Amino acid sequence: MTKLDDRSIYLRKLIMTGLEETKKGHIGSALSFVEIVRVLYDDIMNYDPKDPKMPDRDRFVLGKGQGSLALYAVMADKGFFPVEEIKTYTMPGSRLGIAPETFVPGIEMSSGSLGHAMPFGIGLALSARLQNRPSRVYMAVGDGELSEGSNWEAALAASKHKLENYIVIVDYNKYQIGGSVEEVTGLEPLVDKWVSFGFDVIELDGHDVEALRKAFKSIPRQNGKPTVLICHTIKGKGIDFMENDYRWHWKGGIDAELMTRMMNKLEGK
Q: Are 172 and 190 in contact, with CB atoms under 8 Å apart? A: yes
Greater confidence (231 vs 177) lies with 231
- Measure the CA angle with vertex 144, ends 140 and 148; round to 5°: 85
pLDDT, tens digit (0-9, with 9 covering 90-100), for 62-94:
999 989 999 999 999 999 999 999 999 999 999
Q: What is the CATH number of the domain that holds 57?
A: 3.40.50.970
Q: Confidence class of residue 113 from pLDDT cuts 50, 70 and 90?
A: confident
d(CA 117, CA 250): 21
pLDDT, tens digit (0-9, with 9 covering 90-100), for 123-158:
999 999 999 999 999 999 999 999 999 999 999 999
**pLDDT score, position 268:** 86
**pLDDT score, position 191:** 98
**pLDDT score, position 45:** 98
Which DSSP category does 203 fall into?
E
d(CA 73, CA 38): 9
Percent of the chain clearing pLDDT 70 (strictly above):
100
CA-based nearest residue to 232, from 200, 207, 195, 201:
207
The β-bridge relationship of strands 137-142 and 175-176 is: unpaired
Query: Taking the complete model, does pTM exceed 0.85, yes or no?
Result: yes
User: Would residue 142 count as lying in a domain?
Assistant: yes
Beta strands in the chain (DSSP E): 59-62, 137-142, 166-172, 175-176, 179-180, 200-205, 227-232
**pLDDT score, position 1:** 65
Three-state DSSP at 200 gives: strand
CA dihedral 171, 53, 41, 197 (to 10 degrees): 30
**pLDDT score, position 179:** 87
d(CA 217, CA 204): 14
What value does the mean pLDDT take over residues 44-65? 97
User: Would residue 1 count as lying in a domain?
Assistant: no
H or E stretch at 121: helix 117-130
pLDDT, tens digit (0-9, with 9 covering 90-100), for 6-23:
999 999 999 999 999 999
User: Would residue 162 count as lying in a domain?
Assistant: yes
What value does the mean pLDDT take over residues 176-203? 94
User: Would residue 231 count as lying in a domain?
Assistant: yes
Q: Confidence class of residue 248 from pLDDT cuts 50, 70 and 90?
A: confident
Range of the domain at 92: 6-266
Q: How many structural domains does the chain have?
A: 1
Peptide bond between residue 52 and the one before it cis (omega within 30 degrees of 0): no
- Confidence check: pLDDT of 36 > 80: yes
